[in-house]
Structure 1
Amino acid sequence: MSKKKISTLGSKLGALGPGILMASAAVGGSHIIASTQAGAIYGWQLAIIIILANLFKYPFFRFGTQYTLDNGHSLLTGYYEKGRFYIGIFLVLSLFAAVVNTAAVSMITAAILSFILPFKASTTMLSVVVLSASMAIILLGRYSVLDTVSKLIMITLTATTVWAVLIAFSRTGFDGVMTPDFIEPSPWQLGALGFIIALMGWMPAPIEISALNSMWVIAKKKIKRVSYEDGLLDFNVGYVGTAILALVFLALGALVQYGSGVEVETRGVAYINQFINMYAATIGEWARGLIAFIAFMCMFGTTITVVDGYSRVNCESIRLVLGKDQTKLVYFNLCVIITSVIGFFIISMFNNALGPMVRFAMIASFVTTPIFAWLNLSLVLSKGQHKVKGFLYYLSITGLAYLSIFALFFITYELGLFK
């Protein structure tokens, strides 16, 4: 009988990785765009929405990590054992989300890079650079390099973002740049429902990221022995850090843009450009480089983790559907290359349609969130040593009800029943 691994400070630090990767994948569109837009349009009012979204989704993201640490195999295997129907739905949604999200995040990253570079370059060509760099890190470095890079990016991102907020607060105060005659809009009306739904739907990330994190846990355990306690600590560090960063980005929008009299852009790339310009005008021209660097680090980290994570889950899902015993490394490499190439193809050929594609991916992912939330819960109720009970169980039941009602609300809104 093997001895239980003792958790020490060294083992805790060594276990960090999958949770940080999850955070890096989450902070792209949901944080730097949605959270800052929430602050820019409604000030501090939607902070409660961000907190509730992170709170109610917490159990279902945690269960993905918990299931893998407890049973030794991926969340996808659990879906497959529940029934081919579930892994089939997941694979279809994941394949579509992989290429669309890769195209979206790499294009935004390339656009930010164009703001930083001292020379002019097309977004399309810079997308090649971003995707090529991401592929190189994934294919040449494998998980160990991805693990290290994600930690560096998240540490830099967190430090510079908090620094930027402190500078903004010291210059503008809690009220930010609100003009005396500014009339504060209320988000608590049907006209704002679409924005709130989008904000909460992607906060902190789509539910399939729990499966991505499960695959990263397995990859981590192949290079380092990780105990159950240390693995959960890694998850909590990543998840809680992501939730805090969402509020920090909300603060950036509230302090720098809210009430300034400038209409907030809703398109991602245009908004980031506007945000950088507004920040420079409020804090000082010297801050333009700082905020651009924050945005770039955020989106580049997201691009790397999106390409790697979706490639892992798609490769594993295909293996399960086909009934193969083991996924060969060459197949994973092929998934990385195909995901990146198709992502670039979408940027090149369907640039104008990328927005509707992302919205469709969001809708498809969000309306199935209660299904996979229930699946994640059912897996930790039926298997494993650490079965869910007490406060976490009741939080998950409340969260499941909340997500189901929210999905129904989303569908009825899209059908035009709330006018």
Structure 2
Amino acid sequence: MSSLFKNLGPGLLYAGAAIGVSHLVQSTRAGANYGLVLIIAVVLIHILKYGFFRAGALIPLKSGKDLVAAYSNHSKWALAIFAIITFGTMHIVIAAICIVTAGLVANLFGLENTNWVNPILLVLAGILVASSNTKKLSDYLKWVVLLLGIATLICFFLKLDKLADLLPTFSLSQFNFSHHQDLAFLIAFLGWMPAPMDITLWQSIWITRSNDEKSERQQFQDFNIGYWGTAIMAVLFIALGAATLFQTNVELPTSAVGFTAAFLKMYASTLGSWSYPIIAFAAVATMVSTLITCLDAYPTSAERSLQEFQAPQWLTNKKLWVVFNALGAWFVLFSFGDSLKSLVDFATTLSFLLAPFLAYYNLKILTQYDNRTWIKVVSYLGLLVLLLLASYSIWT
């Protein structure tokens, strides 16, 4: 077991980027608003997206190149679409992650707002990205993800009696596709579940740059632990949100400080007040790791895209893109103020609407190396579902 934990690398970088806004915020809201019913959506979306995310781990192992290079070899249009999505969403995504992190930091230190926390976080994260490396980051993430995971699992077992009381009330009618509000939340919820589709290309870069000598079996073990581990965490957060807040007529606050305070109290009310600072630290550490990982990944993606386009060397300077990304995120945060709900829903919905483009190219490239029938069937079905939901969302 210790050997398995020691060997985890890019899979935990993936988990560090994935277990953040989609889990702490969106999964908790899903449980609070709809009870346990959206657990079905979590399971289905992980199955339907598996092939697209598998491409991020498979292509580097089979070709020795990352997915960015595979996009470029497929067509310059594919590479251009990825570059446009990267440059068009980087500021919004980092801002969404930062506002949640700032809310948790504010609660940990008893601050009333996040006005100064956001820029401080962006500066510190930028410095860490510029001076760190993925090996050190993955070593740090192992313990952060483990700590939050254990705390969440303990809370889940302590809430089993309450969850058992909710089971008789379980009904698919708790979610209504004909209600615009329900559909809008589903789109936002699935947008980053298990993570933005961009992360498949990030993971391929992490694998090609990891320089480890793990076998193909170990690499996929690493990937599967990260992928299905985030699915389990999402289910646990939904269950906790349902057990603590569903049918209580208590609405979750929309501000960053207010929402994260309610989130932390969800743990404290289960484990006891003594646990508040420990859970607050674990949640802050988890979100900081997500912020650092994504603030590293977007500039790396920008760098790799421009390298494939053979852009001038000064334009492929990663540190330049780290600064640009942080400044753009701060501008987005300034525009949205302290409205966590609006910013998170906007970021996650945007990611969902753009996901079919990356899913399509991932699938085209994946089938060159993995032609198994079940992978193709599940992936094409997943692509169809993404297209239908995105189209219906735009139409309504």
Q: What TM-score, normalized by structure 2, do the two folds share?
A: 0.89
For residue 215 of structure 1, what is the aligned residue in structure 2? 205
For residue 5 of structure 1, what is the aligned residue in structure 2? none
**Matching of residues 178-189 of structure 1 within 5 Å:** 186-189=174-177
Q: Does 1:61 align with 2:53?
A: yes
Distance 1:217 1:340 in 2: 25
For residue 81 of structure 2, what is the aligned residue in structure 1? 89
Alpha-carbon shift at residue 282 of structure 1 (Å): 6.0
**Matching of residues 187-202 of structure 1 within 5 Å:** 187-191=175-179, 192-202=182-192
Q: Does 1:153 align with 2:139?
A: no
Identity of aligned residues (%): 30
For residue 310 of structure 2, what is the aligned residue in structure 1? 322
User: Which one has a bigger Cα radius of gyration?
Assistant: 1
SS of corresponding position for 2:159: helix
Distance 1:43 1:186 in 2: 8
Verify the 8 A CA contact 2:56 2:203 in the aligned structure 1: yes
Deviations 1:33-64 (A, max 9, x none): 11111111111111101110111011100112
Alpha-carbon shift at residue 123 of structure 1 (Å): 1.4
Verify the 8 A CA contact 1:157 1:294 in the aligned structure 2: yes
**Amino acid of the residue matched to residue 303 of structure 1?**
L
Verify the 8 A CA contact 2:10 2:138 in the aligned structure 1: yes
For residue 22 of structure 2, what is the aligned residue in structure 1? 30
**Amino acid of the residue matched to residue 230 of structure 1?**
Q
Distance 1:405 1:219 in 2: 36
SS of corresponding position for 1:120: coil
94-103 or 50-59, larger mean C-alpha shift = 94-103
For residue 232 of structure 1, what is the aligned residue in structure 2? 220
**Matching of residues 291-330 of structure 1 within 5 Å:** 291-322=279-310
Distance 1:316 1:356 in 2: 31
Distance 2:254 2:318 in 1: 36
For residue 403 of structure 1, what is the aligned residue in structure 2? 386
2:154 to 163, 177, 186: 163
Distance 2:186 2:298 in 1: 26
Relative to 1, partners in 2 of residues 1:156 and 1:394: Cα closer, same or farther, differing over 3 Å?
A: same
Verify the 8 A CA contact 1:95 1:314 in the aligned structure 2: yes
Alpha-carbon shift at residue 98 of structure 1 (Å): 1.4
Q: Does 1:380 align with 2:366?
A: yes
For residue 66 of structure 2, what is the aligned residue in structure 1? 74
SS of corresponding position for 2:133: helix
Relative to 1, partners in 2 of residues 1:353 and 1:121: Cα closer, same or farther, differing over 3 Å?
A: closer
2:129 to 138, 154, 176: 138
Aligned-residue Cα RMSD (Å) equals: 3.1
1:264 to 252, 263, 266: 252
85-94 or 331-340, larger mean C-alpha shift = 331-340
Deviations 1:288-312 (A, max 9, x none): 3344334323322211111011121
Give the unaligned 5+ runs of structure 1. Answer: 1-7, 414-419
**Matching of residues 334-353 of structure 1 within 5 Å:** 334-348=320-334, 350-351=336-337
For residue 417 of structure 1, what is the aligned residue in structure 2? none
Distance 2:34 2:113 in 1: 33
How many residue pairs are counted as aligned between the two chains?
Answer: 394
Q: What TM-score, normalized by structure 1, do the two folds share?
A: 0.84
For residue 3 of structure 1, what is the aligned residue in structure 2? none
Relative to 1, partners in 2 of residues 1:175 and 1:80: Cα closer, same or farther, differing over 3 Å?
A: same
Alpha-carbon shift at residue 256 of structure 1 (Å): 0.8
Alpha-carbon shift at residue 395 of structure 1 (Å): 1.7
Distance 1:283 1:155 in 2: 17
Relative to 1, partners in 2 of residues 1:40 and 1:360: Cα closer, same or farther, differing over 3 Å?
A: closer
Distance 1:361 1:92 in 2: 15
Give the unaligned 5+ runs of structure 2. Answer: none
Verify the 8 A CA contact 1:137 1:145 in the aligned structure 2: no
Q: Does 1:332 align with 2:282?
A: no
**Amino acid of the residue matched to residue 212 of structure 1?**
W
For residue 127 of structure 1, what is the aligned residue in structure 2? 118
Relative to 1, partners in 2 of residues 1:361 and 1:249: Cα closer, same or farther, differing over 3 Å?
A: closer
Alpha-carbon shift at residue 189 of structure 1 (Å): 3.9
Q: Does 1:394 align with 2:385?
A: no
Verify the 8 A CA contact 1:94 1:314 in the aligned structure 2: yes
Distance 1:290 1:185 in 2: 37
- Which aligned runs of 4 or more in structure 1 are off by greater than 6 angstroms? 327-330, 352-355
SS of corresponding position for 2:196: coil
Verify the 8 A CA contact 1:100 1:354 in the aligned structure 2: no
Relative to 1, partners in 2 of residues 1:154 and 1:188: Cα closer, same or farther, differing over 3 Å?
A: same
Relative to 1, partners in 2 of residues 1:137 and 1:121: Cα closer, same or farther, differing over 3 Å?
A: farther
Alpha-carbon shift at residue 228 of structure 1 (Å): 2.2
Deviations 1:2-37 (A, max 9, x none): xxxxxx995x65542111111111121111111111
SS of corresponding position for 1:213: helix
**Amino acid of the residue matched to residue 175 of structure 1?**
D
Verify the 8 A CA contact 1:96 1:361 in the aligned structure 2: no
**Amino acid of the residue matched to residue 286 of structure 1?**
W
Alpha-carbon shift at residue 261 of structure 1 (Å): 2.2
